[in-house]
Amino acid sequence: MKHHPLQSVCQHLSQIEISNPITARLICRVIPTRCPCERKINLFGVVIIEIPPLCKLNSFYEELIGLRFRALSYLADVCHEDGHRYC
């Protein structure tokens, strides 16, 4: 059976527990809410090429979004902060 190169990194990301508001805020600021690869290329106001969010095909991206969600949940549930500023 082949071992995925990012599998150990993904497992580590899924095991991170958020227990500090400073760390949670940093995670929410660093991990983007949308895939940074998604683009629309315009020419004279007309979309000529649309690049889909390719990150959704990557399991590493899924783990990052899960970590960001856990950080937002920690800020909302434990710290009683409004997470809208990170969206």
Instruction: Please give the pLDDT value at position 74.
Output: 95
Tokens at residue 17, please? 């527990």
Instruction: Please give the pLDDT value at position 2.
Output: 58
Tokens at residue 86, please? 């990170």
Give 5-57 pLDDT, tens digit per residue. Answer: 667 777 888 888 999 999 999 999 998 887 777 788 888 989 888 877 767 66
Tell how far CA 15 is from the center of its chain.
15
CA distance 36 to 47: 18
Domain boundaries, the chain: 7-86
Task: Identify the CA nearest to 33 among candidates 69, 73, 8.
Answer: 69
Instruction: Please give the pLDDT value at position 51.
Output: 78
Give 55-85 pLDDT, tens digit per residue. Answer: 766 777 888 889 999 999 999 999 998 878 8
What does the DSSP 8-state code read for residue 2? P
Helix (H, G, I), strand (E, B) or coil at 61: helix
